[in-house]
Structure 1
Amino acid sequence: MSTYRKKMLSTLLAASASVMLVIAGPAPVQAADLKIALAADVSSLDPHFVNIAPNIALSQHMFDALVHVDPNGQLIPGLAASWKAVNPTTWEFKLRPDVKFHDGSELTAEDVAYSLDRPASLTNSPGPFTSYTKQIVGKEIVDAQTIRLKTATPYGPLPLDVSSIFIVSKKAAQQAGTEDFNRGKAAIGTGPFKFGSYRRGDRIELLRNDAYWGTKPAWDKVTFRIIASDTPRLTALLAGEVDAIESVPTVDIGKVRANPKFRIEQKVSWRTIFWHLDQSRDKSPFVFDKSGKPLEKNPLKDVRVRQAISKAINRQVLVEQTMEGLAVPASNVVSPGIFGHAESVKVEAYDVAGAKKLLAEAGYPEGFALTLHGPNNRYVNDDQIVQTTAQFLSRIGIQAKVETMPLSSYFGKARGGEFSMALLGWGSLAGDFSLRSLLGTPDPDSGWGTWNWGKYSNPKVDQSVRSALSSVDAQKREAAAREGAVTALKDYAVIPLHHQYATWAVRKGVKYIARTDEFTFAHQFVPE
Structure 2
Amino acid sequence: MASGAPGGAERKPAPVSGSRGSFYSISAAVPRSCAMAQICLDARATFSWRSARPPWPCRDARRAGPAGQERRLRPGSRGAPALPRLRFPRSATFLVLLGLALGLAAPARAQPLTVGVQAPFGIDPHFLFVGPNMAAARHIYDSLINRDPESRMVPGIVQSWQALDETTWELKLRRGVTFQDGSPFTAEDVAFTLARVPEVPNNPGPYTSNLRTLQDVQVVDPYTVRLVTDRPNPTLMGQLTNIFVVSKRAAEGASTADFTSGKAAIGTGPFRLENFRGAEGMSLARNEDYWGEKAAYAQVSLRVIGNDAARIAALLSGDVDLIEDVAPTDAARLEREGQVRVFKRNSDRIMFLIPNVGAETLPLLTDAQGQPLKENPLRDLRVRRALSLAMDRQALAERAMDGQAVATGQMVPQQFAGYDPDFPAPRADLAEARRLLAEAGYPDGFGLTVGCSNNRFVNDGRVCQVVGQMLARLGLQAKVETQPGSVFFPRTVHGKNDLPLMLYGLSLSSSRDPSYILSTSVHTRNVAQAFGQGNRGAFSDPAMDRIIDAAIVRMDEGREAALRSAMHAAIGRFPIIPLYNQVTIAAGRKSVEYTPRMDEQMVAYHAHPAQAAR
Is residue 589 of structure 2 the alignment partner of residue 507 of structure 1? yes
Distance (Å, rounded) in 2 between the aligned partners of 1:148 and 1:184? 31
How far the C-alpha of 1:299 sits from its partner, in A, is 4.2
Corresponding letter in the other structure for 2:584: A
Is residue 120 of structure 2 the alignment partner of residue 41 of structure 1? yes
2:209–2:533 CA contact under 8 A, matched in 1: no
1:460–1:487 CA contact under 8 A, matched in 2: no
Higher mean C-alpha displacement, 219-228 vs 442-451: 442-451
Deviations 1:94-152 (A, max 9, x none): 11232233344432212211222223443354543333345322222222221101122
Structure 1 partner of 2:413 = 335
Corresponding letter in the other structure for 1:418: D
Structure 1 partner of 2:502 = 422
Distance (Å, rounded) in 1 between the aligned partners of 2:273 and 2:367? 59
Structure 2 partner of 1:456 = 539
**SS of match in other structure, 2:242:** coil
Structure 1 partner of 2:599 = 517
Residue among 1, 21, 30 paired with 2:109: 30
Residue among 401, 410, 424 paired with 2:479: 401
1:198/1:374 Cα in 2 relative to 1: closer, same or farther (>3 Å)?
closer
2:180–2:266 CA contact under 8 A, matched in 1: yes
Corresponding letter in the other structure for 1:247: D
How far the C-alpha of 1:406 sits from its partner, in A, is 4.1
Aligned length in residues: 506
Structure 2 partner of 1:261 = 339
Corresponding letter in the other structure for 2:174: R
1:290–1:368 CA contact under 8 A, matched in 2: yes
Q: Return the TM-score normalized by structure 1.
A: 0.86
Structure 1 partner of 2:193 = 115
Structure 1 partner of 2:574 = 492
**SS of match in other structure, 2:231:** coil
2:122–2:260 CA contact under 8 A, matched in 1: no
**SS of match in other structure, 1:65:** coil
Q: Return the TM-score normalized by structure 2.
A: 0.75
1:388/1:153 Cα in 2 relative to 1: closer, same or farther (>3 Å)?
same
1:244–1:504 CA contact under 8 A, matched in 2: yes
Is residue 221 of structure 2 the alignment partner of residue 138 of structure 1? no
Structure 2 partner of 1:470 = 553
2:119–2:456 CA contact under 8 A, matched in 1: no
Structure 2 partner of 1:12 = none
Structure 2 partner of 1:14 = none
Corresponding letter in the other structure for 1:147: V
Is residue 457 of structure 2 the alignment partner of residue 374 of structure 1? no
Is residue 171 of structure 2 the alignment partner of residue 89 of structure 1? no
- Identity within the alignment, %: 39
Corresponding letter in the other structure for 1:506: G
Distance (Å, rounded) in 2 between the aligned partners of 1:138 and 1:216? 34
Distance (Å, rounded) in 1 between the aligned partners of 2:126 and 2:527? 22
1:140/1:285 Cα in 2 relative to 1: closer, same or farther (>3 Å)?
same
**SS of match in other structure, 2:195:** helix
- Which structure would you say has the larger Rg? 2
Deviations 1:286-333 (A, max 9, x none): 444433345566543443333232222211112222222232212123
1:354/1:237 Cα in 2 relative to 1: closer, same or farther (>3 Å)?
same
1:29/1:120 Cα in 2 relative to 1: closer, same or farther (>3 Å)?
same
Structure 1 partner of 2:525 = 442
Structural RMSD (CA):
3.0
1:418/1:142 Cα in 2 relative to 1: closer, same or farther (>3 Å)?
same
1:271–1:428 CA contact under 8 A, matched in 2: yes
Corresponding letter in the other structure for 2:498: E
Aligned pairs for 1:216-227 within 5 A: 216-227=294-305
1:66–1:77 CA contact under 8 A, matched in 2: no
Unaligned runs of 5+ in 2: 1-97
How far the C-alpha of 1:369 sits from its partner, in A, is 4.2
Deviations 1:478-513 (A, max 9, x none): 333322211011223322222222211111132111
Corresponding letter in the other structure for 1:62: I
Higher mean C-alpha displacement, 462-471 vs 283-292: 283-292
Structure 2 partner of 1:273 = 351
2:324–2:602 CA contact under 8 A, matched in 1: yes
Distance (Å, rounded) in 2 between the aligned partners of 1:489 and 1:88? 29
1:372–1:420 CA contact under 8 A, matched in 2: yes
Aligned pairs for 1:317-396 within 5 A: 317-362=395-440, 364-396=442-474
**SS of match in other structure, 1:201:** helix
Is residue 268 of structure 2 the alignment partner of residue 190 of structure 1? yes
Is residue 554 of structure 2 the alignment partner of residue 481 of structure 1? no
**SS of match in other structure, 1:257:** helix
**SS of match in other structure, 1:225:** strand
Higher mean C-alpha displacement, 394-403 vs 358-367: 358-367
Distance (Å, rounded) in 1 between the aligned partners of 2:523 and 2:545? 6
Distance (Å, rounded) in 2 between the aligned partners of 1:116 and 1:36? 31
How far the C-alpha of 1:93 sits from its partner, in A, is 0.6
Corresponding letter in the other structure for 1:495: I
Corresponding letter in the other structure for 2:507: G
1:41/1:372 Cα in 2 relative to 1: closer, same or farther (>3 Å)?
closer
